[in-house]
Amino acid sequence: MNLKQIKILSVILIFFISFLAHFVYNYFPNLLISIFFPVNESIFEHMKILFTSILLYGFIEYFLLIKNNINFNNFKFQLFFTAFISIPIYLIIYLPIRYFCKENFIVSIGLMLFVYVIVEIISYYILKEKEYRFVNDLSIPLIILCYLIFGYLTYFPFENYLFYDFLENKYSISDYRLNF
């Protein structure tokens, strides 16, 4: 298996992980899970799916790269960067579509797949670049910072449509059942 083949597999597996990630909190509702997985149907909570799915797949990808003796650089940076950049890419495309066409499940899923293709292309090129030690070292603290922000905004969301669950007519996880 070469790097291109692994990246094609990445899109498929991240897409599959996304479907599982959508329901994790429903089956395991607790404080820790609420930080990593969506707790409601708001746009913000669904951005956790993008971020977390890419990071979870990163564990699989790392072992695939090692197992196949593929030379790569900047693994931690590409993992953080692709997870992070997936959110604005998705929102830039999704929000105008949602505004003009309303919510459409097929469009949302298709867009998610499209975003995964884009970020895996970006990942491919980052892995082929020369080693950037500083950004690699900074990547893990940035991932932790992102999850701290996710956690905070899960419990104290802004009151705007990105954080509003239109199905349940609620904003915050405080409005939902939570088992500690």
Q: What is the pLDDT of residues 31-54, one digit of tens each?
A: 999 999 999 999 999 999 999 999
Nearest to 84 by CA among 115, 63, 60: 115
C-alpha distance from residue 137 to each of 75, 127, 129 (Å)? 10, 15, 16
Of the candidate ranges 6-10, 69-73, 101-105, 162-166, the one whose mean pLDDT is the lowest: 101-105
**176 — pLDDT class (breaks 50, 70, 90):** low
What are the DSSP E strand ranges found in 61-170?
Answer: none
| For residue 72, pLDDT beyond 90 | yes
Cross-strand bridge partners of residue 152 = none
What b-and-e string marks burial along 151-167, b requiring 16 or more CB atoms within 10 Å of the CB? bebbeebeeeeebbbee
Q: What is the pLDDT of residues 10-24, one digit of tens each?
A: 999 999 999 999 999
| For residue 175, pLDDT beyond 70 | no
pTM attached to this predicted model: 0.91
**Per-residue pLDDT at 102:** 76
DSSP letters for 18-44:
HHHHHHHHHHS-SHHHHHHS-SSSSHH
Separation of alpha carbons 80 and 42, rounded Å? 23
Average pLDDT over residues 81-110: 90
- Which tokens is 58 given? 């990163």
Separation of alpha carbons 62 and 70, rounded Å? 10
pLDDT-above-90 percentage for the chain = 82
